[in-house]
Amino acid sequence: MPAASSSRRKRVAPSSDIEDGPTQKSTREDVEEEDDEQPQRVVKKEKKVVKGKGRAAEAYHSEEEEDDDDKIDVDSFADQPLDKSHIISMNGFASDWGTMIKTVQRTNNMVADVAVALADNVEGDVGKKGLLELERFLKELVDIESEMHINYEVIQNLVQQVTIGTEIDNIVEQYQDNVRKNKESYTSKTTRQKYAKNETYKNFKQSVYEIEHPGEAMPPVTEFMPKESGDDSDDDDDLEMGAVTQDYKCPLTLRPLENPVTSETCGHSFSQDAIREMFAGFRGSKKCPASGCTREFRLVDCKPNKELVKKLRLHARRLKKKEQEQDAEEVIE
Ligand SMILES: [Zn+2]
């Protein structure tokens, strides 16, 4: 891999990754890119354009140092193998993708929140249409998240290879090749395989379902996705978490959940004080107290559940609204 100083060499041609299509001759960038007599200005422009794609994307395209104003002419370095001396910067690139994944996940959660608010407040066709659009948007975001995961994993994989002493020639080619193969295999997945296990998507479905069918347990999320060729019936095992009934009552106190914690083993939730009392200092596993659940877990497997807190609040608000509506009806009668 090239050292930072090597990248200061004069550019030969504008790089292809930011070059606009031939149909956009009128844009300023294009005019400048075609003008080889002004290399300085061209470089400045390109830098700006590349930045818009995010740091990891920039690294992916140019493999350059963070503060480096220049771009590397990849062709000149094609034969330099990647070795152990590059592990730190490779990990840096991987963690850039990791940061971007977290950002997308935050956006996903926001979309889910908007959907809940919409389902809660807008009735009729307008609300339904909005929900469908949000769902499509959320699916697109899940796709983007997956693509980022692919990039992340491909780098991690290369790091592993380099760590055990493998020298990697044609890094750019290999990287792009691996990313492309993984993307193809993602694209060929069925709707269920893509979304049914995504936490945010499941949450979205669950929240909307609860608003539209108060008091009913949601069927497994796969119910909403017609089976496609490639869907195994064995997949159902992995999806049972989606079917956990959410009645917002603690199985121990039989009262509404307070400071809810959720068992990571089975997905059942309890009021914090009650589950602590049940374990009473015991550090081993106990059988889940939720009726019908046969799993075992330890107290440390129960984690505070912020999402559930949010849902509880919404649920309480809906109950109140319902009461008020009933009161109003009684007055009229
Ligand atoms: Zn359980």
Across the range 317-322, mean pLDDT stands at: 76
Could you report the predicted ipTM of this complex, rounded to two decimals?
A: 0.99
Q: Are residues 104 and 137 in the same domain?
A: yes
Residue 279 neighbours by CB under 8 Å, 6+ apart: 286, 298, 299
For residue 274, give its domain range.
Answer: 260-332
How much distance in Å is there from the Cα of 194 to the middle of ligand 1? 26
| 88 and 69 both lie in a single domain | no
Pairing, β 296-297 against β 286-287: antiparallel
65 vs 320, which has greater pLDDT?
320
Domain assignment present for residue 47? The answer is yes
User: Of 51, 73, 95, which one is at a domain's C-terminal end?
Assistant: 73
DSSP 3-state of 260: strand
What's the CA-to-centroid distance between 252 and ligand 1, angstroms?
12
The whole-angstrom separation of Cα 191 and Cα 5 is: 47
pLDDT tens per residue across span 64-93: 444 555 666 666 655 677 888 888 888 999
In the structure, what pLDDT confidence band is assigned to residue 259 with cuts at 50, 70 and 90? very high
pLDDT number for residue 64: 43
Report DSSP state, residue 132: H
Closest CA to 40 of 15, 69, 18, 66: 69
Q: Is residue 21 domain-resident?
A: yes
Domain count, the chain: 3
pLDDT at 138: 92
With 50 as the cut, is the pLDDT of residue 57 above it? Answer: no
Calculate what percentage of the chain has a pLDDT beyond 70.
70
Both 49 and 133 in one domain: the answer is: no
- How many whole angstroms from 292 Cα to the centroid of ligand 1? 8
**Token pair in block for residue 289:** 């107290």
Question: Does the pLDDT of residue 284 top 80, yes or no?
Answer: yes
* 3-class secondary-structure state, position 254: coil
Let me know if residue 250 belongs to a domain.
no
Distance (Å, rounded) from C-alpha 135 to C-alpha 103? 18
| Gap from CA of 320 to ligand 1 centroid (Å) | 29
Residue 122 pLDDT class (50, 70, 90 cuts): confident
Q: What is the 112 CA–ligand 1 centroid distance (Å)?
A: 25
Task: Kindly write down the DSSP assignment for every residue of 33-53, as one continuous string.
Answer: HH-TT-HHHHHHHHHHHHHTT
What separation in Å is there between the alpha carbon of 91 and the centre of ligand 1?
A: 38
Of the residues 16, 40, 73, the one at which a domain ends: 73
